[in-house]
Structure 1
Amino acid sequence: MSDKILLINDLPGYGKVALAAMIPVLSHMGFDLYNLPTALISNTFDYGKFEVLETTEYMKNTISVWKELGFNFDGISTGFIMSEEQVRLVADYCQEQSQKGTIVFVDPIMGDDGKLYNGVTNQTIEYMRQLCSVADYILPNYTEAAFLAGVDIKNEGISLEEGYELIDRLRELGSKSIVITSVNLKDNTAVLGYDSKEDTYFSLSFEYVAVRFPGTGDVFSSVMMGKVLLGAPLQDSVQKAMDYVKDIIILSKDNVDKFKGIPIEAWLDKMDI
Structure 2
Amino acid sequence: MKQVLLINDIAGYGKVGMAAMLPILNYMGIPAFNLPTALVSNTLNYGDFAQLDTTEYMRQTLPVWKRLGFHFDAICTGLMFSEEQARLVSDFCREQAKTGCTVFVDPVMGDGGSLYHGIGQEQVELMREMVSVAHVIFPNYTEACYLADIPFQEEGLTRSEACRLLDRLVALGAHSALITSCIIDDKNQVAGYDASTGKYFLHEYNEIPGLFHGTGDIFSAVLIGHMMKGESLSASTRQAMDVVREMIYRNRDVEDRMCGIYIERCLDLL
User: Is the structural similarity TM-score above 0.5?
Assistant: yes
SS in structure 1 at match of 2:104:
strand
- Considering only aligned residues, what root-mean-square deviation do their CA atoms show, in Å? 1.6
Structure 2 counterpart of 1:165: 164
Counterpart code for 1:139: F
Judge conservation of contact 1:87–1:124 (CA < 8 Å) in 2. no
Structure 2 counterpart of 1:93: 92
Structure 2 counterpart of 1:6: 5
Paired with 1:123 and 1:186, the residues of 2 have a C-alpha distance of 32
Paired with 1:200 and 1:102, the residues of 2 have a C-alpha distance of 23
Judge conservation of contact 2:44–2:118 (CA < 8 Å) in 1. no
Gaps of 5+ in 1: none
Residue 215 of structure 1: how far off its partner (Å): 0.8
- Comparing 80-89 and 217-226, the one that deviates more: 80-89
Residue 128 of structure 1: how far off its partner (Å): 2.0
Deviation readout 1:37-56 (Å, 9 max, x if unpaired): 11112222343333211111
Counterpart code for 1:5: V
Judge conservation of contact 1:137–1:175 (CA < 8 Å) in 2. yes
Query: Relative to structure 1, is the Cα distance of residues 119 and 48 closer, same or farther in structure 2, using a 3 angstrom cutoff?
Result: closer
SS in structure 2 at match of 1:135:
coil
**Aligned pairs (5 A) from 1:60-209:** 60-118=59-117, 120-209=119-208
Counterpart code for 1:150: D
Judge conservation of contact 2:7–2:78 (CA < 8 Å) in 1. yes
Paired with 1:265 and 1:15, the residues of 2 have a C-alpha distance of 13
Paired with 1:61 and 1:8, the residues of 2 have a C-alpha distance of 15
Residue 263 of structure 1: how far off its partner (Å): 0.9
Quick one: percent identity of the two aligned structures? 49
Deviation readout 1:236-255 (Å, 9 max, x if unpaired): 11111111110011111112
Judge conservation of contact 2:218–2:244 (CA < 8 Å) in 1. yes
Paired with 1:226 and 1:250, the residues of 2 have a C-alpha distance of 21
Deviation readout 1:54-97 (Å, 9 max, x if unpaired): 11111111112112222121100011222233222211211121
**Aligned pairs (5 A) from 1:249-264:** 249-264=248-263
Query: Relative to structure 1, is the Cα distance of residues 199 and 72 closer, same or farther in structure 2, using a 3 angstrom cutoff?
Result: same
Structure 1 counterpart of 2:213: 214
- Comparing 175-184 and 86-95, the one that deviates more: 86-95
Structure 2 counterpart of 1:51: 50
Structure 2 counterpart of 1:244: 243
Residue 27 of structure 1: how far off its partner (Å): 0.3
**Aligned pairs (5 A) from 1:20-59:** 20-59=19-58
**Would you say how many aligned residue pairs link Structure 1 and Structure 2?**
270
Paired with 2:250 and 2:55, the residues of 1 have a C-alpha distance of 37
Gaps of 5+ in 2: none
- Comparing 117-126 and 224-233, the one that deviates more: 117-126
Residue 266 of structure 1: how far off its partner (Å): 0.4
Counterpart code for 1:69: L
Counterpart code for 1:260: C
SS in structure 2 at match of 1:82:
coil
Deviation readout 1:208-236 (Å, 9 max, x if unpaired): 11122211110000000110110111111
Judge conservation of contact 1:193–1:203 (CA < 8 Å) in 2. yes
SS in structure 2 at match of 1:35:
strand
Residue 122 of structure 1: how far off its partner (Å): 4.2
Counterpart code for 1:98: A
